[in-house]
Chains A and B, each alone.
Chain A
Amino acid sequence: MHALEMRDVSFKYKGSKQLALEKVSLEVEKGEFVTLLGCNGSGKSTVCLLANGLIPHALPGELSGEVRIFGEEVRQKSVAEFSTKVGIVFQEPESQLFCMSVEEEVAFGPENLAVPREEIKNRVEWALDLVGMKGYNDRSPFSLSGGQKQRVAIAAALSMRPEMLVLDEPAYALDPVGRMELYSVLKELKEKYGMTVVLAERDAEEAAGFSDRIVLMDDGKVIEAGPPRLVLRDPGRLRGIGVVPPQVSEVAALMNSRLKVSRFSFLTVDDAERAIVQELSSKGRPGAR
């Protein structure tokens, strides 16, 4: 059973003339970290909203094809029923935190599910600890920074003990510090907890390093899906569909074209450092040999 399975899915939002998704097929395995990469209008947000049933239950439209979330067809169960399997974090920090304190916010989900009080307390502590917001229980969301708000939003989703976490451009409104905090939480979720993560992004810079697979989307269709090294090899193509390639992949592409080879492929600064050092060491200083 896949965590998320989409077969030939097309979707048009109610009142829209264009297809938001056109015959999209993709799978997310349990424990995988998949990044949906695409610009505005590519369909990545639509996939996120399908992943927990908001489409079609809260956002009506014409849906065709099959969408299975942990085996259950999306049209057969309600958003509330899916909420115990899938948690979602949206891009706007301010409008997804609506309680008067962090603790209430994180407790809200399990409270709605009538989870016993003791269990809720445990989950709240666990979730806040995981996102690095331990001790912030009584703070009001208004007083938090953007990065902190997003981490609370993640905790609020995690307290429902989902098996999959979906994040739609969570770093959109964040400054560099906020971004770093967010991505380190995601990394930990993947490495320590083996959680299935679906991340929608338009900038490949950070996600490139720890995604298991990247799904490239443009204009409602899946262009390519595969391991980062494969999908992100051509920065020109990425830019062409509106995605920001990792800067080091541009370095790799340039080196490949200068040396008329194709062996360079960098996803992270570490990758690039290693490869370039190796390259430079084997050449030696000019005239040294």
Chain B
Amino acid sequence: MVMFIDLYTEANTFLHRLDPRVKIVAVLLLSVLAFLMTNLYSLLLLLSFIFLLLFLSRAKWSKTYFALKFVLRLMLLIVVLWPFFDRTGTPILLDFGPVQITEPAIWRGVTSALRVGCLASVWYILMFTTSQRDLVLALVRFGLRFDYGLTIAVSLRFFPTFVSTIDSITDAQKARGLVFAQGGLLERSKKYVAVLVPAVVSALRMADSLSLALQSRAYGARFDRTYLRQLKMQAKDYVALVVVVTLLVLPMIAKYVYSVPI
């Protein structure tokens, strides 16, 4: 299975050039909007807008496919299952024993699916266009303690290493005749011990070495540490921020102050 932890694709789109903090705010507001909107057509519009941004991010096709495959499957699942659990409203389309499918329920299902689709895919806008470095930097700038920022950064950094170690361990045990796909649930779980133990030991060893390396480079020596990379909001970022906030707060004002049905 191809799995991506780093969804970032390097490119030079306007999205890439935006300060990551602006993007985080935009994505948060888009999520809030998705929660608050109830009209099916508004949500469809929002989803299309999000997909447009995803397209504009010029992410690698393999990553886009991976992201969207997940989202679309989730949406389909909701559309299909919703009417089975929501049986209110008229007209009733199908009445067969415990199954009762009504038309309004189907539309409500579609609306929910669109909402979930928005919530699930909006974060990809951030992930496709922001490097892990910048993401962590933005979080620290927002007030996350450096220690936690470093923890996140180190975890992200070692993820591929760890995956590679587990691959190597799995290979080694397979070469000793271990067949993972055989046997009942209990038997299979026992087999994973052969991978888990070396993996945990390897992780602990690495953590030990890491700790020595961190200390040798004076980690924690001073509270007023310098940061080489800085995020500077430029004119374009402020403009973008204003545009984003306006575009996203306006519909909310329309809905709650002026009762526009969106």
Contacts and interface: CB of A to CB of B under 8 A. Distances in A.
Contacts of B133: 100-101, 104
Contacts of B211: 58
Interface in A63-116: 79-80, 83-84, 87-88, 90, 92, 94-96, 98-101, 103-104, 107-116
Contact of B158 (A98, A116, A117): A98
Contacts of B226: 110-111, 114-117, 120
Contacts of B232: none
Q: Determine the main DSSP class of B at the interface with A.
A: helix
A241 to B, nearest CB: 27
A154 interface: no
Interface string B86-101: 0000000000000000
A112 B221 contact: yes
Interface stretch (B41-49, B61-69, B149-157): B149-157
A88 B157 contact: no
A90 B209 contact: yes
Given A94-B161, A120-B228, A54 B216 contact: yes
A114 B225 contact: yes
Contact of A121 (B161, B213, B228): B228
Contacts of B132: 100
Given A54-B215, A113-B221, A156-B217, A100 B228 contact: no
Interface string B204-216: 0110011111111
A160 interface: yes
Contacts of B161: 94, 142
Contacts of B222: 112-114
A148 interface: no
Contacts of A87: 216
A281 B210 CA distance: 56
B224 to A, nearest CB: 5
B228 A124 contact: yes
Given A58-B211, A113-B222, A117-B226, A83 B156 contact: no
A82 to B, nearest CB: 9
A112 B217 contact: yes
Contact of B157 (A90, A112, A142): A142
B99 to A, nearest CB: 52
A94 B160 CA distance: 11
9 pairs of A and B residues whose beta carbons are closest in the complex: A95-B209, A80-B221, A109-B217, A96-B213, A80-B218, A83-B218, A112-B218, A107-B228, A95-B206
Given A99-B153, A142-B161, 9 more contacts: A58-B212, A79-B216, A80-B219, A83-B217, A83-B221, A96-B213, A98-B157, A98-B210, A116-B226
29 contacts: A54-B212, A54-B215, A57-B215, A83-B216, A87-B216, A94-B206, A95-B206, A95-B210, A96-B210, A98-B153, A98-B154, A98-B213, A99-B157, A100-B157, A103-B228, A108-B219, A109-B218, A110-B226, A111-B225, A111-B226, A111-B227, A111-B228, A114-B224, A114-B225, A114-B226, A117-B227, A120-B226, A141-B157, A156-B217
